[in-house]
Amino acid sequence: MNISELPMRIAGQLQGRSRLLVAFSGGLDSTVLLHALVQLRARQFPHLHIRAVHVHHGLSQFADQWVAHSENICRLWQVPLEVLRVRVEPGHMGVEAAARQARYHGIAGIIQPDEVLLTAQHQDDQCETFLLALKRGSGPTGLSGMAAHMPFSGSEQVRPLLDISRRQLEAYAEAQQLSWVEDDSNQDDRFDRNYLRLRVIPRLCERWPHFSEAVARSASLCAEQEQLLDELLLESLQSLMNEDDSLDICGMLPMSEARRYALLRRWIACFDAMMPTREQLQRLWHEVALAREDAEPLLNLGNVQVRRFRQRLFLLPPLRSLKDEVLVWDPRKPLRLPDNLGELQLGNRGVSICAPRAGETVTIRFVAHGTLRIVGRRHSRQIKKIWQEQDVPPWERERTPMIYFGERLIAALGVFVTLDGQAIANHPVWNVHWTKGWM
């Protein structure tokens, strides 16, 4: 490819889309992408509406410098820039996966309904992704690598550089005299992707110069086969999934192992989660789906968890127990809940409860014990039985905000109100609205 053709190659990937949100790190790849789009806007497509977003992860001592550089570039090229500051919590998933999750969650919060997200992954990135999947023992789904077009937060994510090599991007940047930042962490070969980029792929390309191109073709062929399977299995998958995206276990019991695992992979793919290995799929089925009836099984798969409830499988983000949290609430102000659970506030809608007595402290907790008398029931019931009767999964029981007046439990929002919290005539009433977060 002649490097002068790059902007038009990108235009071909846009397929007529004109409102673009570019993930702009300030590095080589995203700088080339943004510059090429600006050239398209100036020369061929003046109707292009381009915005950029820079995610500040706070992981590098140079992060503020990268923000300043990105702001200068976008000012020079007349591209509106939004800087997102995110919090990265690695947990068990590792820094790379946690940063990616925080990054895409942040971008999902600002993308507009008519915008398409553009990211700058290129052919060499695709090669790394393929080899990482190969290392994990992934099947064709994982080996399909990154898709050029995929759904994203009610819109679409497009990767217009997937058939462009890093060498070609460097040639374009040099010809256009572009400046970019270098992420210092890219030289740390403790990270698997960096190890492949710095130590493995250069040796492979030294032996076979077109190795990355060949890998990209293999990934594309795997993707074609997976697309065919997607079409053939779509009806079965839809019949097994509920509106809450959980998966019916009983419906998979009579299936062959190959069909069952193919459906499990497609179910996991619906959440944009990392493809599991065959061993992980086997563990998912035998240790979670087929666990004993009274168990509360859990399997971690990269940046998600698989759990079971009422003979259905649920795929969830890692969840932190909140049973020890006690939040004092001044109801004159909204209350931000922990672990992205959202916000509570008083208003004209929500759960109606009696107002507290004078001098009673209002707290939000995430645990209750003993027996309760709730509105709509004639007799007291153990809290465990109430959760079960209300079909509340175990992991949500310690993540449901419970309102206490002093030591009196008033309500578990969205589940029940106790007799102590029942709204009665001639007594002030609160309406508590819970705006749920992304969990």
List binding-site positions for ATP: 25-30
The answer to whether residues 245 and 371 belong to one domain is no
Q: Residue 283 sits in a domain of what CATH number?
A: 1.20.59.20
Mean pLDDT for 351-364 is 92
Helix (H) or strand (E) holding 213: helix 211-240
Distance CA 365, CA 327 (A): 7
Mean pLDDT for 392-421 is 93
Please check whether residue 234 lies inside any domain of the structure: no
- Whether 186 shows a pLDDT value over 90: the answer reads no
Mean pLDDT of all residues belonging to the chain: 90
Please check whether residue 65 lies inside any domain of the structure: yes
So what's the pLDDT on residue 1? 66
Distance CA 105, CA 86 (A): 9
- Whether 269 shows a pLDDT value over 90: the answer reads no
Question: Helices 166-175 and 28-43, interaxial angle, to 10°?
Answer: 60
pLDDT tens column, 151-171: 888 889 999 999 999 999 999
So what's the pLDDT on residue 91? 63
The answer to whether residues 196 and 274 belong to one domain is no
In angstroms, the Cα distances linking 232 to 86, 147, 176, 245, 311 are 39, 19, 47, 19, 25
The answer to whether residues 162 and 65 belong to one domain is yes
Strand partners for 84: 55
Mean pLDDT for 296-318 is 91
Q: Give Cα 287 distance to the centre of its chain.
A: 25
Task: Decide: residue 220, CB within 10 A, 0-12 exposed, 13-18 middle, 19+ buried.
Answer: middle
List binding-site positions: 25-30
The answer to whether residues 309 and 187 belong to one domain is no
So what's the pLDDT on residue 29? 96
Q: Which three-class secondary structure string do you get for 137-169?
A: CCCHHHHCCCCCEEEECCEEEECCCCCCCHHHH
Q: Which amino acid is at 82?
A: E
Mean pLDDT for 293-305 is 88
The answer to whether residues 346 and 301 belong to one domain is no
The answer to whether residues 361 and 382 belong to one domain is yes
Q: Which of 201, 216, 231 is the last residue of a domain?
A: 216
Q: What percent of the chain has pLDDT over 70?
A: 98
Please check whether residue 231 lies inside any domain of the structure: no
Mean pLDDT for 226-247 is 92
Q: Residue 182 sits in a domain of what CATH number?
A: 3.40.50.620
Please check whether residue 174 lies inside any domain of the structure: yes
So what's the pLDDT on residue 59? 77
Mean pLDDT for 304-319 is 92
The answer to whether residues 305 and 423 belong to one domain is no
Total tally of structural domains belonging to the chain: 3
Owning domain of residue 295 = 241-316
Contact 401, 434 (CB under 8 A): yes
- Whether 33 shows a pLDDT value over 80: the answer reads yes
So what's the pLDDT on residue 214? 93
Strand partners for 365: 326, 402
- Whether 381 shows a pLDDT value over 60: the answer reads yes
Most confident of 14-18, 76-80, 217-221: 76-80
